[in-house]
Amino acid sequence: MSEKFDAVDVIITKRDKGELSDEQIDWVIDAYTRGAVADEQMSSLGMAILLNGMNRREISRWTAAMIASGERMDFSSLSRPTADKHSTGGVGDKITLPLAPLVAACGVAVPQLSGRGLGHTGGTLDKLESIPGWKAAMSNEQMLAQLEDVGAVICAAGDGLAPADKKLYALRDVTGTVEAIPLIASSIMSKKIAEGTGALVLDVKVGSGAFMKNVDDARELARTMVDLGTDAGVKTVAMLTNMQVPLGLTAGNALEVRESVEVLAGGGPEDVVELTLALAREMLAAAGHTDVDPADALKDGRAMDVWKAMIRAQGGNPDADLPVAKETHEVLAPADGILTQLDALKVGVAAWRLGAGRARKEDPVQAGAGVEMHAKPGASVRAGEKLLTLHTDTPERFERALEALDGAWTIAPEGSRPDLLPLVIEKIS
């Protein structure tokens, strides 16, 4: 068939800092998905977008074209409103696990399509797959039935949602265009809008363990995504949150599930509880449920009940023992003082090297591998006390994990204070 546009003309428009028309955008996304635009041409256009940007209209149209490449889900038949959360990824970020059942326990259904870990950031599906029997794959019909019955689903996105994004995402990874904010924002939002949720809360991480290293870049990404959601008729709010330090006291798959269950039982680390409740309140408010306090559902066991029902509905046994790594190695504090720094990126890379993460999508992960933290910034430590415990089935991995942790912490004299951003930095709506 003859094509409506020429890919080279579209590339040159953006290379020369021009605006792409709606028709050009619709065509290039469709043609790339069909294979009529070659990878090298889309790589060139991606680089031009990275260097020269896009305006709000262009990004909105680009996102709409990616949504149009596949199916759209519809939850309007449910007896309750829907709200979803998306995190841009971090270290120890297990928030989805307690958050989805907590919000469901408060009367709002949570259709949470999640992903796997790549590099130093953990994947929600990898964590849940450490639970014996649990399955990530579901049909749309199964998802709808579970949302009505249980109120929460955490599962893998089907191939039908935004297939253009799947193809473009893989290309960005190998062409140095991952950091292009228009492409990040449209990638995330095309899937979330196609998913069909009524409200969306975005957790945009900031700091060494995050994709966005500084507040200004994170704010730009958050603003772009909120605009995209608003333009598509989805009530969207973003929170900028701190990822200088890992969340909670664990980074790894089964380790993080165990910690999430502690939160659902009314305990767990303060930062995980604080962020879970902050995001739950935003999700409930966005769905119109402002008269419920999610803290009550943690205390009275309702959130735990939904968690168990959600795990069982997807084939898992919520009461089974979780996998434990065969080998451990303790890292001891070298001096007395105050822990003032614990670098999230270095901890994340160590967990990855221990087997908790993957370098390529097809790599396997170890369920029990990861890093356990015995102190967080602000805590007093004593020389010879445990600072970290490393977990793996393959002890030959300890050496490279310890290399990754070189310079990961700072112990300052007593009376020192860590210089950290607040856990929730700001809200963008």
What span, in angstroms and rounded, lies between the C-alpha atoms of 232 and 62?
A: 12
Q: Which residues are catalytic?
A: 86, 165, 172, 187, 191
User: One-letter amino acid identity for 74?
Assistant: D
313-351: buried (b, 16+ CB within 10 Å) or exposed (e) per residue? bbebebeeeebebebebebebeeebbbbbbbbbbbbbbb
d(CA 258, CA 268): 9
Question: Which structure tokens are listed for 358?
Answer: 């993957």
- Residues in CB range of 223: below 8 A, 6 or more apart: 238, 428
CA quadruple 55, 60, 64, 66: dihedral sign: positive
Asked if 87 and 205 touch (Cβ cutoff 8 Å), the reply is: yes
* CA-angle at 373, arms to 262 and 112, nearest 5°: 50
Alpha helices in 91-249 (DSSP H): 96-105, 124-128, 140-149, 163-174, 181-195, 215-231
